[in-house]
Structure 1
């Protein structure tokens, strides 16, 4: 799919802006918007679900006062738009305003907007300058800073799976694969099929062009196992930058899909009897001064004790982090035995049946792949939780179990089986509360419990099918 594109245009023939992202200071940001004729700026912060919350501002108003305010309750909002009132009343009794400060390094255009528009990701602070612990982007910054205090820089590379589906405006109807250029929907699994990708060439051309316009770097695109299931891999880099890219990619892919009369969904298990969608996270750690991979001994190229302790930290603490890696009731439909998704925290060399995989690589690129997170996870929280587990392993000099040489699908299921179990494990983990922040854990677990209660209000087709006349 990596193609030379001589003309950058959307499906309407409108010329797309050139690849640019970020500004060093407010003067550079002003030059950017002037060069692109920007009329409005979308100012937002990712909430607990990884959804953009903020305001649209005219350009002149933004530069007159680049900081904006939003109610603190935005970080207690559930995916359905509700709030766990008891916790909000306790934590934010007045629902006072938070200050959102723009991270100018994230400034970029919105290539699908009808009028020239830019977007900027913001960080949340209290009025006295303290970071808002309940903000997912601040949680990730907190964990990355812990690495920097030790003289290290974590490196990540996410892989995001998603499904293309027909437009579906009635939630009572199951999702279906979309119609490609052949005029026929996929009916079988097409893993790594170039022909299956070519069915949606026009859509992927638009995704690439939208991404280039925003300075987002796609490494590869493949067709995954499911009917209409795709995977995009991103180049490795700084965790905050990569989380920003995943956050923007999800929005980009959805917009491009709707422009081609279909939906893109990042649900973990959108279609019954099809594989679930994951967000695999590759992780390594380098010395901040030398850039050397601390997982590799420079003298002989062999793995270091830190490498094995990192794996052990993931094995030990991932169950307590599961609510951030699999954040919805639907997420646990993916994590079932013999579903191609991991069910435990076992590890192995180039073993895709384990939750933790060590991919083949050169000594310089030695890394660990966390295969547990689902694609519905907030990228800031999934990356923060994964890095936190590994760091705990190094700090506590933990030792991993033996690598699994064969299939791990028949081994013990040692991950939480459902959302409430995962939420309880997070609350009970003193180590995770300390590294992620008590305020964040209280807010996040309250949101998850509220979402579960909303789910329980819905009567499913299964209940009507098997209970209506039989019990």
Structure 2
């Protein structure tokens, strides 16, 4: 299953045990684990069982795939199930209420009830790195290779070919997992690449990003370097983004799409969707930028938006309307970093967009003080705590546990003499 940091938590089990149990058991304590393995003590007994009771991981067998490079093994995505009393909420809660994947499914059901279908396409950036006595450096394509990028080479085909063995393995592994990739390129920082995904159904796309991050890290380790999705590993280099494109269709009729009329002009619905994102953007930043390092990507901006603004084909805007024909009219959410949980990013974006469609208020133009986004994790968590919309859509248990974990991680980090070196680069480089 995906935890709040979109790391894979689970077990390796025999086929017989898996089939007999209809999945497997996992201690509920895993729901309360942060990126360092630490847990805020206050969540046990108030949100999670004090005794670390077991929950069941229920497999979604539609996601069952061969595990890349491991003949005879399969991998499957699961969601937690089981009930316990939550004193915080005064009722029995189900483990699924803490699941980012289950939260996204709830939002998508609301779109279905409204007669709408969403198409999503992510773009994911990553660094290929090595640790040395000098700290993090650009990766060499294989151990002992005589070549290393010493100056940034954006869009360099030659530099990309040095890593063809890695990307060949990455494409092959993605194919085994049912992930449709459309290409990759050298990005605007040294040793940084962007991978593009084919458009598809939002839950499947969030699954794809979750699985891709794990696959990229595993294969990089086998090739002798690191694949990192940390938001800002280098203060003087561009950050790592996870951009999502969303378009809407009506279930009864594929044409015209919701965001364009038959003449190809943007519809009021597009403006309404944007208005929902603007209204809830500050609160959603806790999901889009879930670590203290994430805000270095925002503050030290290089095409990283700082306001909940929108623009036609404007890469400095939070919400960009790419140049396209009417059938491909869409909104690109440029706020999330590569360290974000894809399920929470997509769930929050679509929930706020549906709020906007239902309210029918047009989006605000320009960049005003009211649109300023949080510049730190505590500010974003405060905004999330005040968001009635996201609490309604994603549920109080999920929001309460997420906030407790993130405040715990923030306190852990702040207690260190050099938070960036001793927390960010130690943990986020390999785990974000």
TM-score, length basis structure 2: 0.90
Alignment match, 2:63: 106
**Aligned residues of 1:164 and 1:178 also touching (Cα < 8 A):** yes
Distance 2:44 2:355 in 1: 30
Distance 1:459 1:112 in 2: 42
The correspondence of residues 54-453 of structure 1 with structure 2, limited to 5 A, is: 54-94=10-50, 95-113=52-70, 116-126=72-82, 132-167=96-131, 174-180=135-141, 183-292=146-255, 293-298=257-262, 300-402=263-365, 414-453=372-411
Distance 2:220 2:377 in 1: 30
Alignment match, 1:15: none
Measured against aligned partners, the alpha-carbon deviations of 1:330-367 in whole angstroms (never above 9, x if no partner) come to: 11110125422111111111111111100011101110
**RCO greater where, 1 or 2, for CA within 8 Å and sep 6 or more?**
2
Cα gap change, 1:411 to 1:246, in 2 (>3 Å): same
Q: CA RMSD in A?
A: 2.2
Cα gap change, 1:130 to 1:93, in 2 (>3 Å): closer
Measured against aligned partners, the alpha-carbon deviations of 1:434-454 in whole angstroms (never above 9, x if no partner) come to: 111111110110010011011
Alignment match, 1:49: 5
Shift, 1:461, TM fit: 8.0
**Aligned residues of 2:32 and 2:48 also touching (Cα < 8 A):** no
TM-score, length basis structure 1: 0.83
Alignment match, 1:458: 416
Choose 374-383 or 252-261, whichever is displaced more. Answer: 252-261
Measured against aligned partners, the alpha-carbon deviations of 1:381-433 in whole angstroms (never above 9, x if no partner) come to: 1111111121111111121122x5xxx7x988711011011001000111111
**Aligned residues of 2:277 and 2:308 also touching (Cα < 8 A):** yes
Shift, 1:93, TM fit: 3.5
Distance 1:289 1:83 in 2: 47
Choose 287-296 or 301-310, whichever is displaced more. Answer: 287-296
Structure 1 residue ranges without an equivalent (≥5) = 1-44, 465-471
- Number of aligned residues: 410
More helix by share: 2
**Aligned residues of 1:177 and 1:186 also touching (Cα < 8 A):** yes
Distance 2:34 2:301 in 1: 31
Choose 202-211 or 176-185, whichever is displaced more. Answer: 176-185
Larger Rg: 1
Structure 2 residue ranges without an equivalent (≥5) = 84-91, 423-432
Distance 2:351 2:341 in 1: 15
Shift, 1:116, TM fit: 2.5
